[in-house]
Structure 1
Amino acid sequence: MRTSGVLHATRGLGLHDHICWPYDDPAEFRRRAVEFLADGLALGQRCWYVSEGPTEELLSHVAELGAALDSGALRVVSIDDTYGDGGAVTPAEQVATYAAATRAALADGFSGLRVAAEATPMVRGDEALDAFCRYEHLVDRYMAGEPFAAMCAYDRTELPASAIGQLACLHPASGTGGSPFRLYAVPHARVALDGELDLESRDDFTRALDRADLRAGGGPVVVDGSSLEFIDHHALFALSRAADGDVVLRTRRSAPARLAALVGVPGLRVEAE
C-alpha cells in the first residue's frame, strides 16, 4: 500500500511513496528532507538530495548523513543536472531519467532510489507549471510499480497558493496546506482519489484529470475512491467527461451512487468497496 493523505512528517514512508512538501522556512524543509533520506538509507535505497546551489552548500544541508555521503549511498545533485536548465520539463523524458537511475541503483545492490528535491525552480511560469504537473502524475505512475520514492518540496514564499494546490493534488501524500484532495496512481486501478471534491477543489480537479489523461489506458476507467470523504455532482460529471463516459468509481460511501443516479451522470457506475 502507498501512503496517502495529509502528513505532518516525512518519516515512515516506503519504497513507492511520493510526498509533496510545501514549506515556508528553508531550514524546516532541510530537516524534513534529512528525515526522508535517512529512512530511505535505512531501507537500503540509494538517495539523492537535489536542490539549487553550489555543491559545498548542498553538502552542508545533509551533513548529518555524512557516513552515507562517504559511502556513496547518498549523493547531492544540482537541480540543473537532474531536471535540465530550468525550462519546462519534457515529462516522459524526465521519467525515463529517473527510471534509468532506479535501474542503476538496483544493479548496484540497492533496494531502489529515493530523491528529496527542492523543485521550486522547475515551476516558475504557467508553461513550466503545467509541464511539471503532468510530469508529477506520470512519475507517480512509475513509482506505483517500481522502488522509487520522492519528496517534492515547494517554497510557499515564492509560489502562489494556486500553484502549490495544483502540484500537491497530484501526489498521494502531502504536507499541510497543500490541497483538499489527491489524485494518484495505484496498481489496481487507473487512479485513486482521496480527500474532498467540492466547490473549492473544482478547478484543480478538472486540471488534474486533464493532466492524468485517464483515456490513455483504454477500456473502462476504474477509480479507487475508497478514501474519498466527499464528492459533489460537479466532480462526478468531470470524472465522466475525463473518462469519455466510461468510468467505474469504487467507494465505501453510499452517497455517490445515490447522487449519480439522481443527477444522471452519463457512463458512470458506482460500486461498493
Structure 2
Amino acid sequence: MRRSGVVENVRGFGLHDHVCWRFDDRTQLRDRAAEFLADGLRLGQTVRYIGSGAVDRLREELAGTDVLRAALRDGTAQVTSLDDAYPVGTVIDPAAQVRAYAAATEQAVADGFTGLRVAADCTALVGSPRERAAFATYEHLVDRYIATHPFSAMCAYDGTLLPDDAIEQVARMHPNTNAEHVRFRLHGTDRAGCAAGLSGELDSASRDEFAWALDLADPRPVADELVVDAAGLTFIDHNSLLRLTDRARRHGATLVLRTGWPGAARLVRALGLPDVRVEKTP
C-alpha cells in the first residue's frame, strides 16, 4: 500500500512511493538522499541521484556509505547533473518527462531490477512561476505513473533559495511531504477507476491553492464519472466541493467522491447536488 501524509523522514518508502522533501542545507539533502536511495537498493531497485553541479561532486555527495560506494562502482547507482540537460530557465514538458522516467523504469525491470528509484534536487527547475506550473503538472502526472509502476522518487527543494509558497505549490502534488504548511495534497492513486487522489483538508484558506492545483492536474472522467480517491481527506468545504463538481460537469460527468469523512454526504445533501455521489471508504 502506498504511503500518504506529512512525514518526518524518508526511510521505509516502498516501490511505489513519492515524497517531496524541503531541505535547508546540502548536508541534509545528501543525508536524506542517501537514506532514500539505500532503501531502494535493499528493495532491489537501481537508483539515481540527480542535482545541479558537476557530476564528480554529486558522486562524492552520494558516496558516503559503503553500500552506495559499492553501488556507484558496479553501476547500480548513477548520478546525473541537471546542468547537462536543463539550462537555467528551462520549462520542462511534463508529459515528455514522465515518458522518459517510464522508459528508464521499464529498462531497469528488463535489466533484472525491481524498479527505479530517484532522489533529485529539483530546485533549479522551479525558479519562475512558469517553470513552477510546468513542474507541478509533471509532479502530479508522474505520481499517477508511480502509483501503478515500480518507480519511486524523492523530489527535494532548497528552502534557502525558494520561498515557502513556491515549495508548497509543488509539495501539494505529492502524496507525502515534510512541508508543514501544506493543507491538502492532490496526487495519483493506485485504486482502479480513480482519476486522482485527494488527501488532507480543503477549507477557505486553501481555496485559491486548490483551484491552481486542480487546473494543473486536470483530472478527467472515465465512463461519465470523475472518481476521486479521497480516502485521505479529513475535511472539504462547500467551495472546494463545488469546484470539483464543476470540473466533472464540464465533461458531462458525475462526480464520485470516495471518502471516509462523514461530513461529505451531509454537505452534498445540503448543497442539493444531484450529480455528486459519495461512496464511503474504510
* TM-score tier after normalising by the smaller chain length: over 0.9
Q: How far apart are 1:176 and its partner, in Å?
A: 3.4
Residue among 107, 121, 126 paired with 1:123 = 126
CA contact (8 A) 2:195 2:220 kept: no
- Counterpart of 2:256, as a letter, is V
Equivalent residue runs for 1:32-43 within 5 Å: 32-43=32-43
- Map 1:96-175 to 2 at 5 A: 96-175=99-178
Kindly provide the CA deviation profile for residues 124-144 of structure 1, in whole angstroms up to 9, marking residues without a partner as x.
111111111111111111111
Q: Secondary structure at the match of 1:215?
A: coil
Partners of 1:47 and 1:73 within 8 A in 2? yes
Q: 1:228 maps to which residue?
A: 233
Task: In structure 2, give the amino acid aligned to 1:69.
Answer: L
Paired residue secondary structure (2:220): helix
1:67-106, aligned counterparts within 5 Å?
67-81=70-84, 84-86=86-88, 87-106=90-109
The amino acid across from 1:260 in the alignment is V
Please give the alpha-carbon distance, in whole angstroms, between the structure 2 residues aligned to 1:99 and 1:178: 31
1:190 and 2:195 aligned: yes
Instruction: Give 4+ residue runs of structure 1 displaced > 4 Å after superposition.
Output: none
Per the alignment, do residues 218 and 159 of structure 1 end up closer, same or farther by CA in structure 2, a change over 3 Å counting?
farther
Stretch deviating more after TM superposition (116-125 or 137-146): 137-146
TM-score by length of 1: 0.95
Q: Which amino acid aligns with 1:45?
A: Q
Q: Within the alignment, does 1:254 sit opposite 2:262 as a pair?
A: yes
Residue 85 of structure 1: how far off its partner (Å):
2.5
The one-character-per-residue Cα deviations of 1:200-240 (angstroms, maximum 9, x if unpaired) are: 22111111111111126452011111221111111101111
**Aligned AA for 2:20?**
C
The 3 A distance-change label for structure 1 pair 31 and 266 is farther
Paired residues of 1:168 and 1:178 also in contact (CA < 8 A) = no
- Residue of structure 2 equivalent to 1:19: 19
193-202 vs 116-125, greater mean Cα deviation: 193-202
Q: Which runs of 5+ in 2 are unaligned?
A: none
How do 1:40-51 and structure 2 match up within 5 A? 40-51=40-51
Render the CA deviation track for 1:103-135: whole Å, top value 9, x for unaligned: 111111111100000001001111111111111
Task: Tell me, yes or no, if the aligned pair for 1:210 and 1:242 is still in contact at 8 Å.
Answer: no
Unaligned runs of 5+ in 1: none
